[in-house]
């Protein structure tokens, strides 16, 4: 297990480096999609080896000048770290922390001109290691059955090094320090890993390493190939389709319940709260809506008079076009820091703590029964068996499973409508049999829900294979 503090030394054949980097990239893509692929050359991903480190550092280098690619590498490498960490016992974690401690100590001693910010980060990591590598502490904190709620041991770290935990209000603050209980230490390790990658990428951007590397035609070709592969995967994630502002009204019946609910709220009120507007924008972006179409979509809604039962928003496109235009372009990575934002995962949406005025959320998690069934089609309301099972899953805290059952019912409703030739309003629950699904279709975010629901559906409602 490695933190990739130090790049590999020695020589490596070009064709081996190519295979190493490409395989790592494909594996990270599979992690991102939730469908982990088995590597053909496992030695290239064997944790901590020279091949593993070479693949990581080359990908890190090539990603720094492309915002979308950089965001992907940061997230995917952190996910890989979390995945690896989950498989380690306390002895293996301790060995990893001892190596990390030694590398951090070397960097501090050999790099006197590092920034104050990075120096503080390294000191925090060093202190973290000294606490976690104690035998009795490691045995307790890194055993497989250790609960996340445990606070038998605690560690103090600067608040700047655990902002995600502060955001979720999972730690206490004291004099600028976070008190992180041992149940959150694995999360803390992942956060430090992510911060380390960010510092590393920032350093690469200021040293000119990328420019020197791309002067080599072979590295330049590798960068171009990976760029094309990343772009094609982004298109695949949106189903290769383009959704226009005019398409949304006909397509929203295929949206997941959370996004269909937001769309109906928008259509009735012509306004949404900030977070609801952000989530719907990122969803539409994910399913293939270009930025110009997104601007048209929101311009149309926010140019209309505010409904009396509105969300409390008093802004309009006529008065605030510049503000809204900037916000939309920012979410598309065209303004500000030019980061690539994506729609929240189902898990994040379901775990969100909503305010009383919030308009979003997961119907199977945040809505009461009366409010939840307003998002259901009449065919489902008439299917008592499916309704009862879905309610049981909701009340059992299994929101994601309930949504998968809803997805299965909706997919079969669409298939029944197509094969019978009837309009949806004429299809009854007798035509649609749901029950427990043996389908292998799965999704982890609202975009995947939509794309899995209509893999061959054209934007005009016709079957693309016809």
Instruction: Check if the beta carbon of residue 272 is closer than 8 Å to that of residue 311.
Output: yes
**pLDDT per position as a tens digit, 167-219:** 889 999 999 899 999 999 999 999 999 999 999 998 887 877 777 887 788 88
**What pLDDT, on a 0 to 100 scale, did the predictor assign at position 438?**
40
Q: In this structure, what token pair is assigned to residue 393?
A: 């899953």
| DSSP assignments along 56-94, one per residue | HHHHHHHHTT-HHHHHHHHHHHHHHHHHHHTT--HHHHH
Instruction: Check if the beta carbon of residue 44 is closer than 8 Å to that of residue 80.
Output: no
How many CA atoms, within 13 angstroms, populate the side-chain half-sphere of residue 185? Answer: 30
Mean pLDDT value across the chain? 83
| pLDDT of 425 above 70 | no
Nearest to 263 by CA among 297, 313, 291: 297
| pLDDT of 109 above 80 | yes
**What pLDDT, on a 0 to 100 scale, did the predictor assign at position 460?**
44
CA distances from 287 to 234, 425, 459 (A): 10, 26, 11
| pLDDT of 136 above 70 | yes
**What pLDDT, on a 0 to 100 scale, did the predictor assign at position 444?**
81
**What pLDDT, on a 0 to 100 scale, did the predictor assign at position 37?**
65
Strands 172-174, 177-181: pairing is antiparallel
Q: What are phi and psi of 457, to 5 degrees?
A: -85, 125
Q: Which residues contact 103 (CB under 8 A, 6 or more apart)?
A: 3, 5, 6
**pLDDT per position as a tens digit, 251-269:** 998 899 999 999 999 999 8
Residue 229: enclosing H or E segment and its boundaries? helix 217-237
Q: In this structure, what token pair is assigned to residue 233?
A: 């995967």
**pLDDT per position as a tens digit, 309-324:** 555 566 778 888 888 9
Strands 154-158, 177-181: pairing is antiparallel
Q: What are phi and psi of 340, to 5 degrees?
A: -95, 115
- The distance of Cα 62 from the centroid of its chain, to the nearest Å, equals 21
| pLDDT of 430 above 60 | no
Nearest to 175 by CA among 161, 188, 157, 192: 157
Instruction: Check if the beta carbon of residue 448 is closer than 8 Å to that of residue 283.
Output: no
The residue with tokens 């590092």 is 114
**What pLDDT, on a 0 to 100 scale, did the predictor assign at position 149?**
92
**What pLDDT, on a 0 to 100 scale, did the predictor assign at position 276?**
92
CA distances from 59 to 5, 79, 310, 463 (A): 15, 15, 47, 39
Q: Which residues contact 211 (CB under 8 A, 6 or more apart)?
A: none
Selected residue with higher pLDDT from 354 and 123:
123
**What pLDDT, on a 0 to 100 scale, did the predictor assign at position 335?**
78
């Amino acid at each position: 297990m490695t933190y990739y503090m130090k790049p590999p030394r020695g020589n490596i054949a070009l064709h081996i480096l190519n295979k190493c980097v490409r395989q790592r990239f494909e594996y990270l893509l599979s992690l991102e999609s939730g469908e982990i692929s088995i590597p053909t050359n496992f030695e290239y991903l064997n944790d901590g080896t020279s091949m593993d480190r070479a693949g990581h550092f080359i990908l890190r280098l090539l990603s720094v000048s492309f915002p979308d690619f950089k965001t992907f590498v940061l997230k995917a490498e952190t996910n890989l770290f979390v995945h690896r960490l989950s498989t380690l016992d306390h002895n293996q974690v301790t060995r990893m922390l001892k190596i990390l401690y030694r590398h951090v100590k070397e960097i501090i001693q050999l790099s006197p001109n590092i920034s104050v910010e990075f120096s503080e980060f390294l000191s925090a990591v060093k202190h973290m290691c000294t606490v976690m590598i104690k035998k009795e502490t490691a045995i307790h904190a890194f055993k497989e059955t250790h609960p996340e709620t445990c606070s038998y041991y605690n560690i103090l770290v600067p608040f700047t090094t655990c902002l995600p935990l502060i955001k979720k209000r999972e730690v206490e603050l004291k004099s600028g320090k976070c008190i992180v209980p041992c149940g959150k230490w694995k999360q803390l390790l992942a956060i430090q890993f992510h911060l380390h990658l960010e510092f590393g990428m920032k350093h690469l951007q200021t040293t000119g390493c990328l420019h020197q590397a791309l002067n080599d035609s072979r590295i330049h070709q590798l960068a171009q190939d990976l760029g094309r592969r990343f772009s094609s995967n982004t298109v695949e994630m949106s189903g290769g389709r383009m959704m226009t502002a005019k398409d949304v009204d006909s397509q929203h019946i295929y949206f997941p319940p959370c996004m269909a609910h937001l769309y109906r709220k928008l259509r009735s009120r012509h306004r949404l709260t900030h977070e609801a507007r952000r989530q719907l924008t990122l969803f539409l972006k994910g399913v293939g809506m270009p930025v110009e179409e997104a601007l048209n979509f929101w311009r149309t809604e926010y140019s209309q008079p505010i409904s009396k039962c509105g969300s409390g928003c008093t802004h309009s496109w006529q008065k605030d076009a510049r503000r809204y235009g900037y916000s939309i372009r920012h979410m598309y990575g065209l303004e500000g820091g030019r980061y690539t934002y994506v729609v929240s995962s189902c898990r994040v949406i379901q775990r969100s703590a909503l305010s009383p005025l919030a308009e979003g959320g997961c119907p199977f998690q945040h809505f009461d029964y009366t409010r939840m069934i307003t998002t259901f089609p009449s065919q489902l309301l008439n299917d008592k068996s499916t309704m009862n099972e879905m309610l049981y899953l909701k009340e059992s805290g299994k929101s994601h499973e309930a949504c998968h059952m809803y997805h299965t019912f909706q997919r079969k409703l669409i298939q029944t409508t197509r094969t019978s030739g009837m309009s949806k309003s004429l299809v009854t629950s007798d035509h649609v049999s749901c029950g427990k699904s043996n389908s292998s279709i799965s999704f982890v975010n609202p975009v995947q829900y939509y794309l899995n629901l209509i893999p061959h559906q054209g934007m005009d409602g016709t079957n693309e294979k016809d």
